[in-house]
Structure 1
Amino acid sequence: MIDRLCPDQFITPERVRMTAWLMLAATLIGLAYLFATAHGTVDSLGRPLGTDFSNVWTAGWMADQGQATQAWNWPAHYEVQKAIHHDPAIPFYGWHYPPPFLILATLLAQIPYVPALILWQGLTLGGALMVIRYVLPDQRDALLIALGAPVVMVCLGHGQNAFMTAGLLGGGMGLLDRRPWIAGMLLGALVYKPQFAVLIPVLIIARGNARAFLAAGLTSAGLCLLTLLIWGWPV
């Protein structure tokens, strides 16, 4: 039985494409259901639409209202989430990002919650797909398979930043030798997600790419400095 299910017999291009189409359809249907059954910004399960995005948008709103330092005060942050979503019983999604991510959160909070969620997911997914097209330019089904990956449903359903992380990391690594300055800037922007970027400086040094290393360092330091200039030392 195992022999019959070996990859070269069972996993075929046709089956991969069919699975991707089915998963993509399930993703679209699931998202349509979430938005169609939502009440304001709260879905039918009593969660904010985009779940994790709630902490990003509300942190940006707090920063825009002069309460930037309170984004890391979880009880205060939760009170704002309940007020924004007009629901005292919604689950809490805590803000736990390094300060530079507050810059992007504040920009997103300049537009209403649901449009900001759609814009956030659309732009970051588009960026990740651009990286896939760059890495696999000759693979006809690459974008379909990427869109049909189960992780896309998870990220879209929960408003996560994984698309942006994948785009920055994949784009930076893909451009490391051809465009070292741009690659370094992309990798340096991962300062908002340091657990994914901790080995990148070591890798760049091992490759001897001084320009990428310098660009990554300057970008990370620049984002931290910009945060300091906008909100001050307490943040």
Structure 2
Amino acid sequence: MTSLKKITPKLIWDNVRSGDWITAERVHIAAIMAVIAYLGLLIFAVFFPSPFKTPNGEYLVLDFNSFWTAAKLALSGDTLTQYSTQEFLDLQVEWTEYSETTFAFFYPPTWLLYILPFGLMPQPISYFVFNLVGIAIVTLFGRAVFKSWLHSLMLCALPAAMNCLLHGQNGLLSAALLGGAMFALQHRKFVLAGIFIGLLSYKPQMGLIIPLALIFARHWQTFISASVTTLAVAAISLLAFGIDTWIGFFEQLPIASYVLRNDIVDWEKMTSIYAALRVYGLSDTIAWAIQSIAAFLIVVLLFFIWQPLPATNQDKPMSDNQMAVRATTLIAGGLLFTPFALAYDFAILMVPLAFLIKAGQKNGFLPYEKTILALIVIFSSVVARWAVSTGMPIAPLFPLALLWLAYRRHKLEQVNNTETAVA
């Protein structure tokens, strides 16, 4: 008869260090249960009376209402009200007969182009289909990385993914495009990588440092492809909606800045360094100064990590370890670089998580790596609620932890390269 090990502090610490408590069987069971629960929650929210609906039961009071209202307006020929903030908010109240919660539309007209089809459906059905599309494209990204549908299911099971789905936000699309770009870069599909990056231009604050990374790595084909794609999508939206729509978007930008600076979207619900410092009571000037210093340090880190590969390796795909380091530095660093990111944007952390897990599966996990990854997975979806409940925002710690893991893998890669050169 097998005897159970006596639980001791040393045994607990050894498991924390090795991550042996995180087994494939446990992860698979948890992922399947989570996805079933998520789909059940979405079905409940859409097809049954729920706390997410307006009193008349016809509309969902979620972020997605901004997308649906904007698309509905555009299909009727109105592409200006979206960028007249107060008119847009008033219209939501008129349509939903609910005035307690409304949502602004701070996206460029390129995003308006993407969401047009969703204005053709009733709002709850549109929300459901929008989320199914997000799940589908993330599953395709996971399948490409892991070569396994079960492993790709794990990405959809991340609590941060559910947080994004519940809001009806576009984090899953952003994650799939970022992940697709990184996977394409790893396999030297430079033009395809640029197309994915260009398609992400609807969320410019999430991609501010991507051009710098491409320049540092001298990925000129990708840089040109991304630029052409960005301009092409913008041109299509210009032809579809007219120049006045773009003018309205740019004229609205100061309002977005005002919203950030004045806690109109609660700072506790944001994930940036700036927002965290404001919650802790620092002034706007000091918080901006520290945010700017952090952004500069991220660029410096990016410069050292995204250097061109040695000439001997430039004709081969990047190793899983190299891509894990680069993807993590870019995406986790990007979340720290921007002052305007919200809790549902943490869905894009599934990309560095996927590449770090793939590198760990192939090359072995470093001490504490599996445990840290597990903690990020479990707690990254509750950062907003934690900050609201305690007044102590911790969101920036999650991308910082990922950067630390990337740095450790980068140092290991350097040691291995040195040993190979000596041998």
Answer whether TM exceeds 0.5 for this pair: yes
CA separation of 1:47 and 1:160: change in aligned 2, threshold 3 A: farther
Under a length normalisation based on structure 2, what TM-score does the superposition of the two structures give? 0.50
1:108 corresponding residue in structure 2: 118
Aligned positions of 1:1-235 closer than 5 A: 1=9, 2-3=12-13, 5-6=15-16, 7-38=18-49, 42=53, 48-49=59-60, 51-85=62-96, 87-137=97-147, 139=148, 141-176=150-185, 177-235=187-245
Deviations 1:51-95 (A, max 9, x none): 11110111111222232111022221122223333x233510111
**Which SS does the other structure have where 1:68 is aligned?**
coil
Check conservation: 1:50, 1:156, Cα contact below 8 A. Answer: no
CA separation of 1:45 and 1:21: change in aligned 2, threshold 3 A: farther
CA separation of 1:144 and 1:110: change in aligned 2, threshold 3 A: closer
Q: Distance in 2 between matches of 1:45 and 1:150?
A: 30
2:372 corresponding residue in structure 1: none
**Which SS does the other structure have where 1:109 is aligned?**
helix
Q: Distance in 2 between matches of 1:91 and 1:8?
A: 43
Q: Distance in 2 between matches of 1:160 and 1:99?
A: 16
Residue 165 (structure 1) shift: 0.2
Residue 11 (structure 1) shift: 1.8
Q: How many residues align?
A: 232
Check conservation: 2:73, 2:79, Cα contact below 8 A. Answer: yes
Amino acid at match of 1:116: S
CA separation of 1:134 and 1:50: change in aligned 2, threshold 3 A: farther
CA separation of 1:50 and 1:184: change in aligned 2, threshold 3 A: farther
Q: Distance in 1 between matches of 2:78 and 2:243?
A: 13
Check conservation: 1:38, 1:44, Cα contact below 8 A. Answer: no
CA separation of 1:49 and 1:226: change in aligned 2, threshold 3 A: same
Residue 217 (structure 1) shift: 0.2
Deviations 1:31-70 (A, max 9, x none): 233234338x936798943711110111111222232111
The Cα RMSD (Å) is: 2.5
Check conservation: 1:35, 1:43, Cα contact below 8 A. Answer: no
Q: Distance in 1 between matches of 2:20 and 2:54?
A: 42
Residue 227 (structure 1) shift: 2.0
Q: Distance in 2 between matches of 1:134 and 1:50?
A: 35
Q: Distance in 1 between matches of 2:188 and 2:20?
A: 38
Q: Distance in 2 between matches of 1:50 and 1:168?
A: 27
Q: Distance in 1 between matches of 2:140 and 2:132?
A: 12
Under a length normalisation based on structure 1, what TM-score does the superposition of the two structures give? 0.87
Q: Distance in 2 between matches of 1:45 and 1:66?
A: 27
Instruction: Tell me the percent identity.
Output: 26
Check conservation: 2:61, 2:101, Cα contact below 8 A. Answer: no
Residue 22 (structure 1) shift: 3.1
Residue 196 (structure 1) shift: 1.6
Residue 220 (structure 1) shift: 0.7
Residue 17 (structure 1) shift: 2.2
Listed as ranges, the gaps of 5+ residues in structure 2 are: 1-8, 246-423
Q: Distance in 2 between matches of 1:50 and 1:166?
A: 24
Q: Distance in 2 between matches of 1:205 and 1:123?
A: 32
CA separation of 1:107 and 1:21: change in aligned 2, threshold 3 A: closer
CA separation of 1:152 and 1:136: change in aligned 2, threshold 3 A: same
**Which SS does the other structure have where 1:191 is aligned?**
helix
Check conservation: 1:51, 1:159, Cα contact below 8 A. Answer: yes
Q: Distance in 2 between matches of 1:47 and 1:112?
A: 9
